[in-house]
């Protein structure tokens, strides 16, 4: 298997996905190794010279004025990691932990952090051996980055804390011994280099962006299927309209809809009967498009952050300086991931409105609740409730975390980003959006069956055919949840996207 070569400047989202989800190995680039060695040697000399450097020969946070004796500089780093390993809550999934470790190694390979090559190589060895620290999700305020969760990663390097190794939870010491490794002995600055930065929130954000690229296509396909089931008219997708308001995402969604609906006998039959649809169909390009643009903004921010130096102090060893700045502050990621959550919530919000139209026979001209012999059968009545419940949940989650700063460290760190929670709830809203899209597909496919023998468009026909291979027509009431779970599985796997794109080419 190919390895991802890390130099701190060229990591891509595809690399993150390959390492986090496909088990790719990682290596430190040779040129990066030299920079790492140079920087670590400079820090060592500064300690010997008795220079005052924050976090190297001083305490941390509000204790920055406390000078640490030279013979206690190593203990200072170990104490830092142990005291900061104080998280609560459910542990991050393995793929997130792998992404965290990857991004931490990548930023430290830039050679501005003072970490030794031996310590950094230990984290590389963990990744390659599948030793994954147990990292609680609660505890970061995104101030000096993700101090608490990163400390849970870092303590494993010194043989402390718990890890998951070969599918089993065990102590880090046991996993290290099983791999023939030894705990590292931290050098000056190394604890701070390991636990100070925006790595955790950025790792979560990176995986969110990767998955959102799939979600936006599923949302367009589900909407196009609903357009068929609701015998929509095509005027709202006319290219000329969108050329007059050249918002990037809006134009993409309109084009996707035109391609998916091309050749639809349903749309052709009904377009002479009325001139417009409800907003959930007519304004679909504008709503989906705005959310796409928001996600594009977040993607740009994440791609910058995964190749940035975000710890403190930054060691400009060739200039002989250590600068205590604020690159650790999570504001860029916090604000971006709040925006991401809002964008994903709107995909679910408008999808639920189309679901509600599909089950309302007064609006859809379909059987009540999309089932024959309704009354005896409740049909698709309650999946819409589920979608409504999820959308309501999203409205609470979409409240921005970044505006809720809370002072820490005796008011030395008097403004924090809350980026850790921004990223976590962004993930939850994305997962919820996929669930609502899966419900929409389930409803839309049922509605499309009732439009036969009229044929849907080229793309929607292919999507519908693939969907029906896995989820049958709902003839009478049965246990509904298995059908919803299968629908969600198809959405998350990208199965329906592949079918549609095989018919109309790659969607944007």
- Catalytic residue list contains 54: yes
Cα–Cα dist 468/220, whole Å: 18
Phi, psi (degrees; rounded to nearest 5) at 317: -65, -30
Strand partners, 169: 164
Cα–Cα dist 139/361, whole Å: 49
Q: Counting Cβ atoms within 10 Å, is residue 441 exposed (0-12), middle (13-18) or buried (19+)?
A: buried
Tell me the pairing of strands 314-316 and 321-323: antiparallel
| Torsion, Cα of 435, 441, 446, 447 (10° steps) | 120
Q: Which of 16, 11, 211 is nearest to 99 (CA)?
A: 16
Q: Choose, from 24, 54, 92, 270, the residue flagged as catalytic.
A: 54
The residues, ordered by sequence, that sit 6+ positions from 203 with a Cβ below 8 Å of its Cβ are 16, 20, 96, 99, 100, 102, 103
Collapsing DSSP states into helix, strand and coil, what is residue 228? Answer: helix
**Alpha carbon 494 to its chain's center:** 16
- What is the C-alpha R_g of the chain? 26
Phi, psi (degrees; rounded to nearest 5) at 25: -80, 165
* Beta strand residue intervals within 329-415, DSSP E: none
Q: Which residues are annotated as catalytic? A: 54
């Amino acid at each position: 298997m190919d390895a991802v070569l890390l130099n701190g400047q060229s990591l891509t989202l595809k690399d993150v996905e390959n390492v986090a989800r496909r088990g790719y190995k990682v290596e430190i680039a040779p040129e990066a190794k030299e920079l790492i060695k140079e920087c670590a040697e400079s820090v060592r000399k500064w300690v010997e010279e008795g220079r005052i450097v924050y976090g190297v020969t001083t305490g941390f946070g509000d204790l920055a004025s406390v000078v640490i004796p030279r013979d206690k500089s190593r203990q200072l780093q170990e104490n830092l990691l142990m005291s900061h390993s104080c998280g609560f809550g459910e542990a991050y999934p393995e793929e997130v932990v792998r992404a965290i470790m990857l991004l931490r190694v990548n930023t430290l390979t830039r050679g501005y952090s003072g970490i030794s090559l031996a310590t950094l190589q230990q984290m590389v060895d963990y990744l390659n051996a599948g030793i994954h620290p147990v990292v609680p999700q609660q505890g970061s305020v995104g101030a000096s980055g993700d101090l608490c969760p990163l400390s849970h990663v870092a303590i494993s390097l010194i043989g402390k804390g718990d890890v998951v190794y070969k599918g089993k939870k065990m102590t880090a010491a046991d996993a290290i011994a099983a791999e023939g490794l030894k705990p590292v002995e931290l050098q000056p600055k190394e604890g701070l280099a390991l636990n100070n930065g925006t790595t955790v929130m950025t790792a979560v954000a990176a995986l969110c962006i990767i998955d959102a690229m799939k979600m936006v296509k599923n949302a367009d396909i589900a909407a196009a299927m609903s357009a068929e089931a609701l015998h929509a008219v095509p005027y709202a997708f006319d290219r000329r309209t969108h050329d007059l308001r050249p918002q990037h995402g809006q134009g993409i969604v309109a084009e996707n809809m035109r391609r998916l609906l091309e050749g639809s006998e349903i749309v052709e039959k009904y377009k002479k009967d009325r001139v417009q649809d409800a907003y959930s169909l007519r304004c679909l390009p504008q709503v989906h498009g705005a959310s796409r643009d928001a996600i594009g903004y977040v993607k740009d921010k994440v791609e910058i952050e995964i190749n940035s130096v975000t710890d403190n102090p930054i060691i400009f060893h060739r200039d002989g300086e250590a600068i205590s700045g604020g690159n650790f502050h999570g504001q860029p990621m916090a604000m971006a991931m709040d925006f991401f959550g809002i964008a994903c919530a709107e995909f679910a919000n408008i999808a639920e409105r189309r679901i509600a139209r599909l089950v309302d026979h007064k609006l859809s001209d379909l059987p009540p609740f999309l089932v024959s012999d309704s009354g005896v059968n409740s049909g698709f009545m309650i999946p819409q409730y589920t979608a409504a419940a999820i959308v309501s949940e999203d409205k609470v989650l979409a409240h921005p975390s970044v505006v809720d700063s809370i002072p820490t460290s005796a008011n030395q760190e008097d403004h924090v980003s809350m980026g850790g929670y921004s990223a976590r709830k962004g993930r939850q809203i994305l997962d919820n959006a996929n669930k609502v899209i899966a419900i929409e597909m389930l409803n839309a496919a049922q509605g499309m069956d009732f439009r036969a023998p009229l044929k849907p468009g080229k793309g929607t026909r292919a999507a519908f055919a693939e969907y029906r291979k896995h989820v049958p027509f709902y003839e009478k009431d049965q246990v509904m949840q298995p059908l919803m779970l299968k629908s969600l599985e198809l959405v998350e796997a990208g199965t329906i996207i592949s079918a549609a794109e095989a018919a109309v080419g790659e969607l944007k």
